[in-house]
Amino acid sequence: MNVNRLRKKYFKMYRRDLSDEDEVPVNSIVIYIFGAIFASILLAMFTQNIIKPIVINPFLLLLVVFLPSIVLIYLVFLAIKYFNLRIFSDRYSFAAIYTDLKDVPTQTVRNFINNKTDFSIIPLGGAIVRNFVPLRGGGREGFLVVDKNLAMNLGGTIFVMSDLIVTTVEALPTELRVRIKNHSLYKPYTKIYFGALEKRINGMSIVEYLDMQNNFIIRDFWALYDAVELYNEHLERMLNVSDSRVERLRSYDK
Amino acid sequence: MINKTIDIIIPSDEDLKINFLILLIGIGSFLLVVLAINDYQSIPNVEINPFLLISITIVPIVMIGYFTKIYVQSKSIHIFTPGGYFWSTLMLNNKTVLLPITNRDSKSVSVYYLIIPLGGGAIPNWLPYFGGGKNGFMVANKRLVIDLGGNVFVGGTPIKITVNSLFPTLRREVLNHKLFKGNPRKVPIYYVDLSMRVKDSDLERENINNEPSKLTTVGEIRQRHLSNIRYSKYLEEEVANRRSIERALDDALNNRRVVRENENNNNESNRL
């Protein structure tokens, strides 16, 4: 009878399910690269007397060794920036060292009807990798100047809820222009991403839109919750029916 | 004067920008090639083990390929959520799943879920890098997915689960997705069912299963929901298990019945 075999199969399956929880994630590409380097060096050591060495022009050797290395360093720099994307807007994403709006310097600007607006000034570029050499260079990709009320902390990243305009520092209001020009990371001809207009979705701001959807989402959640519970009740009934059938068949079997 | 103002506000995005690093690499490689061509007779050649040459040339090139992939991802569309999560995506091969549900009050609710493959990327006017689904899948209530006209914002904190912890219909749809590869127990699923604006008090329900609810926080309720789904997966497997036992027992009884009938027939024929 295959009953015990089936039981063993399911038991194994559930055990595997549990054991997956504590696995240490290892990037396979890193393993392959270091494996390949190690294997090539071993092969080079063991075959230096057997295989004839290649004769190559020293400049050509420099070309094939140093150039990929320089490109590699540049790409690693870009990759570090990618893992440090901190600021997202409608179309743009920027690496920055700021993860919280509270740490960002602000500048108050008065408009022509004397209303005050606080603008956050964030130098773009640069990155910090945990337990690694920090990559400086904030401000290299310009500055983000955004109305403080239009930026939202997402817990590690900042969401700019504004349509950004790419401009130059000269086009900014005087207070902002002076503040950015005096910034330690300011470089001439730098780009400014300026956000003062709120992004609208179906005529609503993003927060209003999410609030409007709230009741529907809660309704959907409870519907799904109930559906799962009802399905479980149905499955439990089926299981009871199956159990009683198995019992009956076993009694016939005896 | 007007022209000057326009020049200031709209910087020339179309200008040809020269990256200094690329310029240096180009000049460097040109010089090295010229030197190699001119001096190949006067400067003695170097001898090198072929495997050593492989380790110092091919391996960095493989690494360059990997980091170029990351670079393409960085320039691609991003999908981001509260909690500091973000992924590159192509926003292609998305699936909308309709869940027609009849709840306990016999009211029908249509819930739309969106399945978005994560990973992959493309830079406009450049080589596309496909491979969506390599970083897992986002399964989110469609109402929470906001297309900002480039990037995509999902307005709820995701829970990282596996496909086994998904609602049965969603599980089937994710498993049948053409970009779903690999071990279902390892492919990460980022599940978003509630908005970041939902507070504990919003989820209050007087009765769950005709009993006063003991669940108070959003986290507890979501946890309970997911454990219910996992329980349903367990029950499905148990039912399948019992049915196989039932069938095996049924077959065994039938075989015995046939043997007995044959024996009876033989006995009767012997008697005759």
Among B108, B114, B80, B112, residue whose Cα is nearest residue B94? B114
B170, closest residue in chain A (CA to CA)? A224
Does residue A66 surpass a pLDDT of 90?
no
Name the β-bridge partners of B165: none
Q: How confident is the model at residue B18 (pLDDT cuts 50, 70, 90)?
A: low
Does residue A64 surpass a pLDDT of 90?
no
Burial classification of residue B145, based on how many CB atoms lie within 10 Å of its CB (0-12 exposed, 13-18 middle, 19 or more buried): buried
- B14 to chain A: which residues are within 8 Å by CB? none
B3 φ, ψ (degrees, to nearest 5): -60, -40
The packing angle between helices A3-19 and B218-271, to 10°, is: 160
Which of A13, A68, A167 comes nearest B57 by C-beta? A68
Measured between CB atoms, does B143 come within 8 Å of chain A? Answer: yes
Mean pLDDT of A169-179: 89
């990709």: which residue's tokens? A141
Mean pLDDT of A26-38: 72
Q: Report chain A's mean pLDDT, rounded to a whole number.
A: 80
How far apart are alpha carbons A194 and B116 in whole angstroms?
31
**C-beta atoms of A33 and B243 within 8 A:** no
- A89 to chain B: which residues are within 8 Å by CB? 148, 151
**C-beta atoms of B78 and A85 within 8 A:** yes
Residue type, A83: F
Among B96, B160, B154, B188, residue whose Cα is nearest residue A217? B154
Mean pLDDT of B30-41: 75
Does residue A19 surpass a pLDDT of 70?
no
Measured between CB atoms, does B227 come within 8 Å of chain A? Answer: no
**C-beta atoms of B55 and A207 within 8 A:** no
Measured between CB atoms, does A112 come within 8 Å of chain B? Answer: no
Q: What is the model's pLDDT at position A6?
A: 47
Does residue A1 surpass a pLDDT of 70?
no
Burial classification of residue A206, based on how many CB atoms lie within 10 Å of its CB (0-12 exposed, 13-18 middle, 19 or more buried): buried
Q: What is the model's pLDDT at position B211?
A: 61
Query: Cβ of B255: how many Cβ atoms within 10 Å?
Result: 10
Return the residue in B4, B74, B75 with the most chain A beta carbons within 10 A, the one to mutate for interface testing.
B74
pTM confidence score: 0.77
**C-beta atoms of A191 and B11 within 8 A:** yes
Does residue B113 surpass a pLDDT of 90?
yes
Q: How confident is the model at residue A24 (pLDDT cuts 50, 70, 90)?
A: very low
Q: How confident is the model at residue A15 (pLDDT cuts 50, 70, 90)?
A: very low
Mean pLDDT of B101-122: 85
Q: Report chain B's mean pLDDT, rounded to a whole number.
A: 81
Question: Which tokens is A196 given?
Answer: 């003062």
Q: Are strands B152-154 and B159-161 parallel, antiparallel or unpaired?
A: unpaired
How far apart are alpha carbons A217 and B144 in whole angstroms?
8
The DSSP annotation for B125-147 comes to TS--B--TTTT-EEEEEGGGEEE
Q: Are strands B108-117 and B207-208 parallel, antiparallel or unpaired?
A: unpaired
Does residue A253 surpass a pLDDT of 70?
no
How many CB pairs (< 8 A) connect A and B? 304
Q: How confident is the model at residue B6 (pLDDT cuts 50, 70, 90)?
A: very low
Mean pLDDT of B212-231: 81
Does residue A192 surpass a pLDDT of 50?
yes
Q: How far is CA A9 from CA A6, A14, B178, in A?
A: 5, 9, 28
Which of B51, B164, B203 comes nearest A44 by C-beta? B51
ipTM: 0.76
Q: Which residues contact A111 (CB under 8 A, 6 or more apart)?
A: A117
Does residue B9 surpass a pLDDT of 60?
no
**pLDDT tens string A89-132:** 988 888 888 878 888 888 888 877 778 889 999 988 877 766 66
Q: What is the model's pLDDT at position B146?
A: 92
How far apart are alpha carbons A58 and B46 in whole angstroms?
6
Does residue B191 surpass a pLDDT of 80?
yes
Question: Which tokens is A16 given?
Answer: 């595997």
Instruction: Mean pLDDT check: name the lowest of A16-30, A58-72, B110-124.
Output: A16-30
Does residue B7 surpass a pLDDT of 80?
no
Measured between CB atoms, does A216 come within 8 Å of chain B? Answer: yes
